[in-house]
Amino acid sequence: MNQLHSKSVVVGVDGSQAGVNAAKWAVDEAITRQLPLRLVHVAGRKGSRSTSAQPSDWELEAGETALCQAEVAVQGAGKAVEVETVLLSGDPEQVLINESVDAALVCVGTDRRGWSAEKLLGATEAALAMKAHCPVAIIRTNPDGSPAQPGVIAVVLNDEPDNEEVIHQAMEEGRRRNATVRQIDRRLNSWVRRYPDVPVQVVAAGTGSRSSENHSSAIELAVVGKADADQIAELGTPNSHPILGYPNCSVLIIRD
């Protein structure tokens, strides 16, 4: 993640409560990175190629209203964060992908009621998961903006080449949100896998604390790498969620 050349934390705002909640979630992301929070509304429809075509008066009004609602919610958090609001036109998926080129993070919100339906991700979320040029956060929250399942940050330990960076970002999220990080070991050469009959307690070196403590806590956020992101987007079912059994948690996708 090249923060030196990143300009902002981008949030896609579509006029829904989920979009507002994503903006509120992203506040801490912007603050800790010392970057502005860029709220983006796209006036247009999927398949629209033009980014310069003038939106209708109705689309402009709806977009301004959506941005205003999100900005008010962000300012209501009472945290010192610089906020930019931008109204663009075109295909929402492509516009947000374009925004990701210069972003440290792109966030979108989605209704938790749809998370366990036939499709795990909507069209925009799936497009970002596969094509964004920066990390992507897909945030599922309660109507009041609180996390859908307050609790731990989950990350999978595996043999993918980007796993070290994925784990790094999971630890950063744990620090940022004062949350426990739960590491789920899927490595082929894991000693735990090689000795399934032996009970193992993983302890963080120098602390004496067991990683299994708070194991009953719900997963708030799953941090995943490119391989899991591609699988989620392509299969599109709850069974392909990287953290099986927790289809309602938010997901942070580390693509670089």
Cβ contact 26:141 at 8 Å = no
CA distance between the termini of the chain: 6
| Residues pairing with 156 in the sheet | 184
245: phi then psi, degrees, rounded to nearest 5: 90, -5
26-42, pLDDT tens digit by residue?
A: 999 999 999 999 999 99
CATH of 3-141, one of 3.40.50.620, 1.10.3720.10, 3.30.1490.20, 3.30.43.10: 3.40.50.620
Cβ contact 35:6 at 8 Å = yes
Cβ atoms within 10 Å of 221's Cβ, excluding its own: 28
What was the pLDDT predicted at 216? 44
Domain boundaries, the chain: 3-141
Q: Divide the 256 residues of the chain into consecutive groups of 10 and give the mean pLDDT of each group.
A: 66 94 95 97 72 76 96 95 95 96 95 56 87 94 69 86 92 90 78 74 52 58 84 57 63 86
What was the pLDDT predicted at 73? 95
What was the pLDDT predicted at 13? 97
Question: Which of 26, 11, 28 lies closest to 95, judged by CA?
Answer: 11
